Amino acid sequence: MTASTLFDVDFTIRGAGIAGLAMADALVSRGQRVAIVDTGPAGGGSSGAPLVLMNPATGRRARLVEHADHCLSLAENLLKKVADFSGITFYSKNGVLRPALIESLAKNFQRAPDKYNWPSPDWIQWLDEEQFTENYPYVGAHHGGLEIPFAFTVEADTFIDQLSSYLVSKGCIQYLNTPYKLKENGYQGYSVHPESGSSFTTLGVIDAVGSSLHKLPEWDFIPSNRIKGQLLDLEFEKPLPLKESISSMGYFAFLPANPYRLVVGSTYEHEYHSLEPTEQGRISLYEKLDRTLPGISNRKHKATLWAGERVSLQDHKPVAGAHPTMNHRYLLGGLGSKGMIYSRFLAEQLAITILAGRPMETAFSPDRFVDL
């Protein structure tokens, strides 16, 4: 079902990061007419990080991501669809290792396989110190660790670029790298006025603006925090002895298709005056590398420092749903470091909410913040 022909498009999505593009895919696949507007390029924010992980066992307790099986299934389907479209290999289901670098992590990690409701036992396995050392001798001092085989590494900037092109091929209109104005027309939807391009009308608007959420007064009741993250993108002269990516005190993203490259992340900075990379960020990231993979930094390599900004909400959960008072206005955001794993799942849920009227799960709905 599409909106009345009174509107040029059914829905306009503000933001061309992973959340906005995933939302567009969920709607386009349901026959909706979709436009995307962004003042920057596709993936211009933190979505365009060099390499990212889709890891279902997160945090210091290796907690299972909510709806992990559905999240990973939808995300993998999207990755495969875009890879088939582009003919480019930009992801791998190569798993994630989670070495317990300190004793308290070991206690948490050892409990994780039994503590959470994993889709099946082969999603996670604890190895004691001796087993982990035997299997992964290149990892630094540890107290054992977890194997997470149902995890992916994604070359995010390539994926975002190709997903944007795929959506264009499916009829999605995109106004990128251009300022625009949005005007509410009450029950008559909205009008959108790009500086470079023709104005158009739209029934609904979905805000997927990432770390710019704080700039939207309509959503000022959402308690959000901006976080700066810096990454080291390393290119080595000789191949690295890795197969999996690693998530320990920091993360180390590795694609087997390019064994010369390793991306080290991330700093978590709450106080900063610029989004430019810093020398302190570089030092901190090399310290993470030396702690988890000792000796790797001594190998001959070239390094590029990258920085971006993401948004996290007060309860550390993403948000997706309808505005409590505005007509045909929706939000998808607060994905934090889980944008790649959560975006397509939440886009799917929000599309069903918009088109079929099914309420969003309370844990994700903007309504949970209304009375704060």
> pLDDT (tens digit, 9 = 90+) per residue, 8-36?
999 999 999 999 999 999 999 999 999 99
Number of neighbouring beta carbons within 10 Å of residue 286:
16
Number of neighbouring beta carbons within 10 Å of residue 15:
28
CATH number of 9-47+158-214+315-369: 3.50.50.60
Q: What is the predicted pLDDT for the residue at 47?
A: 81
Number of neighbouring beta carbons within 10 Å of residue 200:
18
Using the CB atoms, write b or e for 139-158: b if 16+ within 10 Å: beebbbbbbbebbbbbbbbb
Paired tokens of 189: 């939807």
| Digit-coded pLDDT (tens) for 275-304 | 999 999 999 999 999 999 999 999 999 999
Average pLDDT on 137-147 reads: 97
Q: Yes or no: say if 337 and 47 are a contact pair by the CB < 8 Å rule.
A: no
| Digit-coded pLDDT (tens) for 75-112 | 999 999 999 999 999 999 999 999 999 999 999 999 99
Q: What is the predicted pLDDT for the residue at 45?
A: 81
Which of these, 282, 59, 52, 254, lies nearest to 138 by C-alpha position?
Answer: 254
- Residue 245's pLDDT band (boundaries 50, 70, 90)? very high
* 3-state secondary structure string across the chain: CCCCCCCCEEEEEECCCHHHHHHHHHHHCCCCCEEEECCCCCCCCHHHCCCEEECCEECCCCEECCCHHHHHHHHHHHHHHHHHHHCCCCEECCCEEEECCCHHHHHHHHHHHHHCCCCCHHHCEEECHHHHHHHCCCCCCCCCEEEECCCEEECHHHHHHHHHHHHHHCCCEEECCCCEEEEECHHHCEEEEECCCCCEEEEEEEECCHHHHHHCHHHCCCCEEEEEEEEEEEEECCCCCCCCEEEECEEEECCCCCCCEEEEECCCECCCCCCCCCHHHHHHHHHHHHHHCCCHHHCCEEEEEEEEEEEEECCCCCEEEECCCCCCEEEEECCHHHHHHHHHHHHHHHHHHHHHCCCCCCCCCHHHHCCC
Where along the chain do its domains lie? 9-47+158-214+315-369, 94-152+224-313
249, HSE (Cβ side, Cα atoms, 13 Å): 21
Answer yes or no: is pLDDT of 371 > 90: no
- Residue 249's pLDDT band (boundaries 50, 70, 90)? confident
Answer yes or no: is pLDDT of 4 > 70: no
- Residue 1's pLDDT band (boundaries 50, 70, 90)? very low
Q: What is the predicted pLDDT for the residue at 88?
A: 97
Which of these, 343, 362, 365, 264, lies nearest to 43 by C-alpha position?
Answer: 343
Average pLDDT on 114-125 reads: 97
Q: What is the predicted pLDDT for the residue at 188?
A: 82
Per the document, the length of the chain is 372
CATH number of 94-152+224-313: 3.30.9.10
| Digit-coded pLDDT (tens) for 203-241 | 999 999 999 999 999 999 999 999 999 999 999 999 999
Which of these, 308, 307, 357, 354, lies nearest to 332 by C-alpha position?
Answer: 354
Answer yes or no: is pLDDT of 186 > 90: no
Q: What is the predicted pLDDT for the residue at 275?
A: 92
